[in-house]
Chain A
Amino acid sequence: MSQNITTHTDKKLPLQGAGGADHAALADIFNKDEDRVNWHDETLWWIRAKRDLSVHKIPEWEALRDTASAIKNNVLSNLNSYLQQFEANAQANGIVIHWAADGAEHNAIVHSLIKKHNVTRMVKSKSMLTEELHLNEYLAENGIDVIDSDLGERIVQLAKEPPSHIVLPCIHKKKEEIGELFHQFLGTPAGNADPQFLTETARHHLRETFLSRKVALTGVNFAIAETGEFVVCTNEGNADMGAHLSDIHIASMGIEKIIPERKHLGVFLRLLTRSATGQPITTYSSHFSKPRDGQEMHIIIVDNGRTVQLGREDFRNSLKCIRCGACMNTCPVYRRSGGHSYHNAISGPIGAILAPNLDMEKYADLPFASTLCGSCSNVCPVKIDIHDQLYKWRQVIVQNGYAPTAKKLSMQAMATTLASPFAYHMAGKAGRLVMKYAPFALNNKLNPWYKQRDMPKPPDESFGEWYKKNRKAP
């Protein structure tokens, strides 16, 4: 079934950086195919609707959200001792703990553990943290062959793309495109796009991988300070297949994954999948507490900017995120612009808050990729004030001088106009005249408001003029 596959460690597409295209420009590319945009929009809205059905079956849903948020408040306010408690308990269980201040340190630790065992291959289950830290690219450069074992991740890996969604990595791909990738890399017949058949093929191909890799890396959904264990949630069972067949299990976690006590998992596991896909729970919620006999288990605790975010009072709450993706599924901008337009490992509303913390200049565009409609905050299982934080980031970004020049100039012009009644009335009058007699001056590509919409028909007079005429003072 599986031929020699040599291309899967090739570099993924580089994410757009400073000087590269911003969200609007990348969304333009996505928006060229209107049918696909509609399909993407409808698919994600369908998942959002499944979420609604699922949460409405839980009468205490809102109380659960409040509780989860309060537990996370406690976590963030006591993180220093929880991290040490977790470390001590995990070590007592025979797990080796490593600390990494940034991606470079994390990736070097992973590499050294692989080297120590004299192997050149690793199997990985889904970990958005390692996407954030560009682990695959780093290991490929160092001659290590990495296979992502979550089906969606494997698909985007074959396509040399980053995931476009944190829960549904290849939600942007049509099954025909996936069939083509499988034809090219896994030898399936050309033109076969049957999900059942393609999944079966991946099952065989990845089973061989699980059985032959000595090193497995997983993410961490929750780490419990009280017991030193960590929990990994998957539907496919890929994390378990990798971990239980490997000689060495490495788990990568951000410092914010800590929860205080085991019983708190009851709250978070009830919220996670109902918010993510509408499922009552993932198929597997696995609690790793000790290495298997003869196995090594390592946890790498990673900062990579999280302590900075912890110190930003306005943005601290973003560290409560449990990575369910509900904010993306409900976001009208995400659904119509696609995950890749966010040019960051975590896309959508929560990603737009986390990214500027890592690099304010590079991600200055992301907090503006929102309607601020508040839908994200309404579905967030841990009650992060997502849209308020996006609004606050805009102010911080402008104050720090990272707003695009065109936006700065037009904002200045608007401020001047709105500050003067005379200028305001003149501008209104001029605008109405232009739209009436020279519509081509506005209905052209230079005007961003003309994109994908028609300009309105201007009224003959302003409300002020009408009011003066019809409502004379008594």
Chain B
Amino acid sequence: MNQEIQNPANQKLPLQGAGGAREKILAAVLQNQPALQNLPDITFVKGDVEGAQERYITTLTTIGGKVFKVNSFDEIKALIPTHFDASKRVVSTLPQLSDIAELNQGEPIDPHSLEDIELSIIRAHFGIAENGSVWVTEDLMGQRVLPFICQHLAVVIDAENIVPTMHEAYQRIGLIKYGFGTFIAGPSKTADIEQSLVLGAHGPRSMTVFLLG
């Protein structure tokens, strides 16, 4: 499926700056932009840490997700076959789950080979109480497409890793480097047909979070 593609960083593409668009645009911007206005301080916004875990559970449940509080990976292993069709393909990036799932820790493979996954189980860095999302970066996904292409998604986060709002989230993320990172908030969904909410648009039909305490 994948042809050989040269690393674009190594090649000078002839298109760049074709017709002098870059210089033209930058000059027009410089000429038309108003006098410099300072950036505002955004440190004033801080969420309430108290009760963040309960708020997280409520929010994620409201947007169609499911939450289990667990104490160990053994509990997670026991819940998987009762809530998912474990006879189908289950893929995880977590070595703790290697006896119930096919392990994928980011080996160079064709992402198309993941098209028949029933369940993906990954770890996330932390959750955000105000919107029910979890923050995941590429290193935790194995393959970028893994959390999207599966029929169902399960995510493990440490129960203490819940931040109140997006401000604390970005404080945690800081300026670390990643190739790809995403906030995932619940199952894939759409309401494009007369505003009727349907879960499972193109990505997972369900999202389950295991809060590991």
List residues of A whose CB falls within 8 A of some B CB: 43, 46-47, 60, 63-64, 66-67, 70-71, 73-74, 76-80, 83-84, 91, 94-101, 105, 109, 112-113, 117, 149-152, 155, 168-171, 173-175, 178, 195-196, 198-200, 202-203, 206-207, 210-211, 214, 226-227, 235-238, 240-241, 244-245, 247-248, 255, 260, 262-267, 269-270, 277, 279-298, 301, 303, 307-308, 310-311, 313, 316
Residues of chain B from 183 to 205 with CB closer than 8 A to chain A in the complex: 183-196, 198, 200-204
A98–B130 Cα distance when bound, in Å, is 37
**Contact at B9–A237, with CB atoms within 8 Å?**
no
A275–B99 Cα distance when bound, in Å, is 45
Number of interface residues of B (CB under 8 A): 83
Question: Quick one: which of A112, A214, A238, A284 has the most chain B CB within 10 A?
Answer: A284
**Contact at B192–A244, with CB atoms within 8 Å?**
no
B51 within 8 A of A: no
Closest to B3 in A: A247
Residues of chain B from 1 to 38 with CB closer than 8 A to chain A in the complex: 2-3, 5, 7-9, 13, 15-19, 21-22, 24-26, 28-38
List residues of B whose CB falls within 8 A of some A CB: 2-3, 5, 7-9, 13, 15-19, 21-22, 24-26, 28-40, 42, 44-45, 59, 63, 108, 111-112, 115, 128, 130-133, 143-145, 148-149, 165-167, 169-171, 173, 175, 177-196, 198, 200-204
Please tell me which one of the listed residues A91, A99, A199, A262 contacts residue B17 in the complex, with CB atoms under 8 A apart: A99
**Contact at B16–A284, with CB atoms within 8 Å?**
no
**Contact at B181–A178, with CB atoms within 8 Å?**
no
Closest to A281 in B: B131
Question: Quick one: which of B170, B175, B204 has the most chain A CB within 10 A?
Answer: B170
Shortest B201–chain A CB gap in Å is 4
Q: Which A residues touch B2, using CB under 8 A?
A: 247, 294
**Contact at A77–B34, with CB atoms within 8 Å?**
yes
Q: Which B residues touch A313, using CB under 8 A?
A: 34
**Contact at B36–A101, with CB atoms within 8 Å?**
no
A211–B185 Cα distance when bound, in Å, is 24
- With contacts A77-B37, A245-B111 known, is A83 near B29, CB below 8 A? yes
Q: Total number of A-B contacts with CB less than 8 angstroms?
A: 281
15 extra interchain contacts, Cβ-Cβ under 8 A, other than A151-B190, A244-B144, A281-B133? A77-B33, A94-B8, A99-B22, A174-B194, A175-B196, A237-B203, A237-B204, A241-B202, A244-B145, A244-B148, A262-B170, A263-B170, A280-B130, A284-B188, A292-B111
Shortest A59–chain B CB gap in Å is 10
Please tell me which one of the listed residues A67, A199, A292 contacts residue B40 in the complex, with CB atoms under 8 A apart: A67
A78–B5 Cα distance when bound, in Å, is 36
Please tell me which one of the listed residues A168, A171, A297, A307 contacts residue B28 in the complex, with CB atoms under 8 A apart: A307
Q: Which A residues touch B59, using CB under 8 A?
A: 280
Chain B contact residues: helix, strand, loop or mixed: loop
**Contact at B37–A237, with CB atoms within 8 Å?**
no
**Contact at A78–B33, with CB atoms within 8 Å?**
yes
Chosen A-B contacts, 9 in total, with CB atoms closer than 8 Å, are: A76-B33, A96-B8, A173-B194, A203-B201, A226-B175, A262-B175, A281-B183, A289-B178, A294-B2
A211–B115 Cα distance when bound, in Å, is 8
**Contact at A307–B170, with CB atoms within 8 Å?**
no
- With contacts A262-B175, A303-B28 known, is A290 near B196, CB below 8 A? no
Shortest A293–chain B CB gap in Å is 6
Please tell me which one of the listed residues A207, A226, A269, A292 contacts residue B179 in the complex, with CB atoms under 8 A apart: A292
- With contacts A237-B148, A238-B202, A307-B29 known, is A76 near B188, CB below 8 A? no
